[in-house]
Every structure is written in C-alpha cells, then in structure tokens.
A and B are shown apart, each in its own frame.
Chain A
C-alpha cells in the first residue's frame, strides 16, 4: 500500500518570511512526483513535475527539490506573500501508473 505523507498539515507564515514543507513517499517504484497549489474555490494548479533524483525546480519564489532514494521532496516558498495562501498537494506516481496524493499542507500567509 502506497503511503504519501505531507507535513506539517498546516502552517502560518508572516508575510515576507520564507517557509518549507515536506512530502514523503515510497522510495521504490518511483516514476514521478507532482506538486500542486490549490486555492480555495479554485481548481488545483500544477506547479512542478519532478522525475529525477536530485531534481530541482523553480517557479518564481517557489522551488522544490527531490530525493528519490530516501523518498522525500521539499517545497520552498521564499518571501511569502498573502497570495501564496493555499493548500499545497504532492502526488506520487509509481512505475505501474498508480497515482497517490498526500493530504496537503495548508499555508496561511498573514500580512
């Protein structure tokens, strides 16, 4: 049984501060790791697709790293802004095509 976990479940950040959170996933049968941002009342928005150990992706102030050998990915937000408030989901794809999401990390950025 696949087990994708995200921590923390939620976090509060002051505007301007940087933060990061974790997605852990099975280290076997890895195929890809996806990150999504999900704002309230909107559709989940794709941030990154990561496939290689040591991969690093960046989109504006948001970046992510990947360690497939130990089964974790970090998402970083630099200089948090109120518009970064959202739930961040990671999704693990195994080599058989099965796709499992974590429960998400809810980020609240306060001015």
Chain B
C-alpha cells in the first residue's frame, strides 16, 4: 500500500505567478484535503475534494482552487501569488465512509517560497 505523495518537494516562485501542487492519495482513498501551514502556526484547512467535487472550504480566497481526478489524485492551484502564500502545503487523503471523522493520512508537504 503506497502512502500519500506530493510533488514537488520545494518550489520557488515570484509574486504574481501561478503555481500547481500535486498530490497522489493513498490507495483506496477517495477524499483529499489540502492545508496551508505558515511558520509557527497550525495547518489551515483550504478545501476538501470528494469524488472529484469540492466538499468543504476554509477561509481562502478564490485564487486558491483545486481539482480531483478520477483516480482521486488532486491538484492545488494558486493564482496571483502573494508573499504571504509562502508556506508548507500539506495534502491528506482519507477513505470517506464515516463522514468527517475519517482518519486522514498526510503527505510530506510541498514547501512553497514566494519572492
């Protein structure tokens, strides 16, 4: 059973650019959640995808968008990057069967730096 993987590991962008982060969910998991962790803070919930549809969203602007594919892998897209978008982005997959209490399995994260 493969775990959750994310790519790339690190990324450097400049303000105004766009970025796409990728996540492969754990085998058998149909739900993917994305989080942003800024330095010194806990992970902040961005959104969740279940069977290719957005299924919950945190307090992030529309320039944060996502996709989930038929194989349940997912992308996080951020447009018009700002300096404050510099953070560790985590994705987590879960086998949705018990609603929101499903245990989430996290990937190692993508470290994004915006200059």
Contacts and interface: CB of A to CB of B under 8 A. Distances in A.
Interface of A: 4, 6, 31-32, 34, 36, 42-46, 49, 51, 89, 91, 93, 97-104
B44 interface: yes
28 contacts: A4-B42, A31-B101, A43-B3, A43-B4, A43-B90, A43-B109, A44-B43, A44-B92, A45-B106, A46-B103, A46-B104, A46-B105, A49-B102, A51-B101, A91-B42, A91-B43, A93-B100, A97-B48, A97-B55, A98-B56, A98-B58, A100-B42, A100-B44, A101-B42, A101-B43, A101-B44, A101-B45, A103-B40
A101 to B, nearest CB: 3
Contacts of A101: 35, 42-45
Contact of B106 (A32, A44, A99): A44
Chain A residues touching B, majority SS: strand
Interface of B: 3-4, 33, 35, 40-45, 48, 55-56, 58, 90, 92, 100-109
Nearest to B102: A49
Contacts of A93: 100-101
Contacts, number: 62
Given A32-B100, A43-B107, 19 more contacts: A31-B101, A32-B101, A42-B108, A43-B90, A43-B105, A44-B92, A46-B103, A46-B105, A49-B102, A51-B101, A89-B42, A93-B101, A97-B56, A98-B58, A99-B33, A99-B48, A99-B56, A101-B35, A101-B44
Contacts of B33: 99
Nearest to B44: A101
Nearest to A87: B42
Contacts of A45: 106
Nearest to A97: B56
B108 A34 contact: no
Contacts of B103: 34, 46, 49
Contacts of B101: 31-32, 49, 51, 93
A111 to B, nearest CB: 27
Q: Which of B35, B45, B102 has the most CB of A within 10 A?
A: B45
